[in-house]
Chains A and B, each alone.
Chain A
Amino acid sequence: MRTSRRTIAATIAGAATLALVVTGCSAGGGDTSDEPVTLTLATFNDFGYTDELLAEFTAETGITVIHNKAATSNDARANYFQKLGNSGLADVEAVEIDWFTEAMQYSDLLAPVADDLKGRWLDWKEAAATDAAGNLIAYGTDIGPQGICYRSDLFAAAGLPTDRADVAKLFDGDWDNFFTIGAQYTATTGKPFIDSANSVLQGIVNQYELAYEDTDGSIIATTNPDIEAAYKAVVEKAIPISAYSGQWSEDWFASMASGEFAAMLCPGWMLGVISGNAPDVTGWDIADAFPGGGGNWGGSYLTVPANGAHVKEAAELAAWLTSPETQLKAFTNAGTFPSQVDALASDELAGATNEYFNNAPTGTILTDRANAITVATFKGPKYFQFHDALQNAVTRVFDGLEDEQTSWNNWVTEVSAF
């Protein structure tokens, strides 16, 4: 395959050169060794890596950093795998946890993290990035410990407590407790309690050790009783109290300001979504609680492709960006909650508050939520596909297209074909 590809490419090169002359453009050249090193960094969404922050790195090392940002994590994913086996990736590439397991399959193409950095991150964050050979192949950036965001004004109207500590006490329990409170709210007000049913599915599945694939690579999706239980709970108990099936639709964004629902499952990065889309609403707050213990939603890593031009310097940049100090600055910039042990223990984090959320001490709350996380769900290479299909199954019931059993059966058929 590879040979034939090269041959074709070589044949084509002649014609390409001609066209190059015709169009008068020059191909991008490689840098010469004399020049000072310039590194490229590729991220998506908002990692909190501002130009000022990167300028600090340049001041320290003399290395210039060019920051490329993709609009969405999905764009970044397409870009990453398209280029990983060829060339053209940035010197440091961000990878989101959802598709990180896919990248793990190609861990041999990534430069391993230096041994002396091991232990910098939370155990489960590191464990997920360690390949079969025992190499740590990615630098953890942020994590998504979840609390519960709530509208205190709507809670008050429904006769629920509004004080942060009281609300935390209210939700201190398992998912059934959460569903019961939700059902009460919906019965009292006639309105949905939470934003979306699939956020609950995510919340439950992210508390299992195993979801769709076993650690040995075997598929357990349709036989894992936990998954069926999660589906059942979401369909029977979460759907009746949810405003939407999934998130990120126009209606969903609009509803954050309209007061259509009273609560959301809230990782650190969700705070910015809420305050950005409902800037004029007062009453949002966040409670230090999560059903069934702790839960992580999202978070990312930085990777260094092994075939880059400046692997050594790139590793230096990745290490600097994911140091506790830098990540704390990123948290201030963008709300990306640090995954580094030292950062979690810092005073700076403990003192962080959020004005929009009624001056809630978000630093302490999210640190508590991070410490409550005890399991990291094993996510195999096909996690994304399985979970996506299960979300669709929930949506089909939500939309009234299929009943609970039919939708489940269709999911089983669908994922069996993977």
Chain B
Amino acid sequence: MSTTPPIAIVEESIPNERQRRRGERTTRIRGNRPGFVVYAVLAVVFISAAFPLWWSFVIGSGDASSLRERPWWPGGNFLANALAVVSNPAVNFWAALWNSIYSSFLIAASVVITSTLAGWAFAKLRFLGGPALLAFVVATMAVPQQLGVVPLYILFSDLGWTGSIGAIIMPALTSAFGVFWMTQYLRQAVPNELIEAARVDGATMIRTFWTVGVPAARPAAAMLFLFIFVGAWNNFFWPFIVLDRQNPTLPVALSLLQSNYFVDYSIVLAGVVLATVPLLLLFIFAGRQLVSGIMAGAVKG
């Protein structure tokens, strides 16, 4: 053999399939339920993490003076405030909601797919220029992003895309962060021997990816989806520049509520709560994926 094998050489011995199955059972054996201290720590973390949402609801259910008076419990105006947001014709709430949902979804889906494919190649396949390309991708993350808005606007202006949702989807369809994350995760989560075994069985590369890589990547992919979706959902700077009020995303639409010398924060935060609800729904869905995915990924390999 004069050429380097395209698949990374197995450097470590890995328990065979039967032993791995046994590992699944032992997961539960090992996991004797932890004590009170763990729950206490987690409760503290949870309370501080949930506080802004709670606080947004408290202020959002009050009136214009709530921010100043700092109440601890909700008032009775939430529905009225929410209605003020939704029914404000200038805010264009429903159009914004739909734009946010489908643009964030497309962005997150595209990032997950492209990152998983590329991450699999970088982590588990050996090819000429691979490490260099990966290093290059990671290095591009080090270029400050604020400036990117200038050339991107020029580009989309020349293309005539300004004002369309495509202009916020296009630049976000891939993510260097996503590729790096998938690479590092798959490096760890998939034993090289497994791929070797699949190849010895005569599986094609794409089949190996499908039967070994994809299941292993599931928890990481669910998380990446969540991160990218939330990031796209809350992104303001670029959508604000490139979109206009006829066709906004939620943050752009809601920014209108702050466009006066005097800002009624009870309405603003009612809008914030409304904009967060879809994310919480996503959490419930993605959270399940994450948990079941982790178990499946770790065992089936």
Contact = CB atoms under 8 A, between A and B. Distances in A.
Contact of B160 (A28, A75, A277): A28
A78 B158 CA distance: 19
Interface string B142-165: 000000011001110111111111
A27 B159 contact: yes
Contacts of A175: none
A47 to B, nearest CB: 10
B174 to A, nearest CB: 10
Interface in A117-170: none
A276 B261 contact: yes
Contacts of B161: 16, 27-28
Given A46-B261, A82-B150, A273-B262, A27 B164 contact: yes
Contact of B162 (A13, A72, A88, A279): A88
A69 B158 CA distance: 24
Given A13-B159, A19-B173, A51-B89, A68 B245 contact: yes
A68 B262 CA distance: 18
A229 interface: no
A296 B56 CA distance: 38
Interface stretch (B222-230, B252-260, B285-293): B252-260
B259 A88 contact: no
Interface in B229-269: 240-242, 244-247, 255-256, 258-262
Interface string A52-90: 000000000000001111111001001100110011101
Given A46-B260, A71-B255, A79-B240, A19 B170 contact: yes
Interface stretch (A4-12, A103-111, A338-346): A4-12
A26 interface: yes
A231 interface: no
Contact of B159 (A9, A25, A51, A277): A9
Contact of B169 (A25, A79, A275, A277): A25
A354 interface: no
A279 B245 contact: no
Contacts of A69: 90, 245, 256, 259
A23 interface: yes
B24 to A, nearest CB: 39
A23 B169 contact: yes
B245 A257 contact: no
A40 interface: yes
A45 B64 CA distance: 18
A40 B153 contact: no
A86 B170 contact: no
Contacts of A23: 106, 110, 166, 169-170, 173
A78 B255 CA distance: 15
B256 A40 contact: no
Contacts of B256: 69, 71
Interface residues of A, number: 47
A46 B162 contact: no
A357 to B, nearest CB: 15
Interface in B68-93: 68, 89-90
A83 B169 contact: no
A46 B163 CA distance: 23
Contact of A86 (B110, B153, B261): B153
A23 B104 CA distance: 12
B65 interface: yes
A272 B261 contact: yes
Interface of A: 5-6, 8-9, 12-13, 16, 19-20, 23, 25-28, 30, 40, 44-46, 51, 66-72, 75, 78-79, 82-83, 86-88, 90, 253-254, 257, 269, 272-273, 275-277, 279-280
Given A9-B158, A83-B162, A88-B163, 18 more contacts: A9-B155, A9-B159, A16-B170, A23-B106, A26-B164, A27-B159, A27-B161, A28-B160, A28-B164, A45-B259, A67-B245, A70-B240, A70-B255, A79-B240, A86-B157, A257-B68, A273-B261, A276-B64
The 6 closest A-B pairs by CB, nearest first: A276-B262, A86-B157, A88-B162, A68-B245, A25-B166, A9-B158
29 contacts: A5-B154, A9-B158, A13-B159, A19-B166, A23-B169, A25-B166, A26-B164, A26-B166, A27-B160, A44-B259, A45-B261, A51-B89, A68-B245, A71-B255, A71-B256, A72-B259, A82-B150, A83-B153, A83-B157, A86-B157, A86-B158, A88-B153, A88-B157, A88-B162, A253-B68, A257-B68, A269-B261, A277-B262, A279-B65
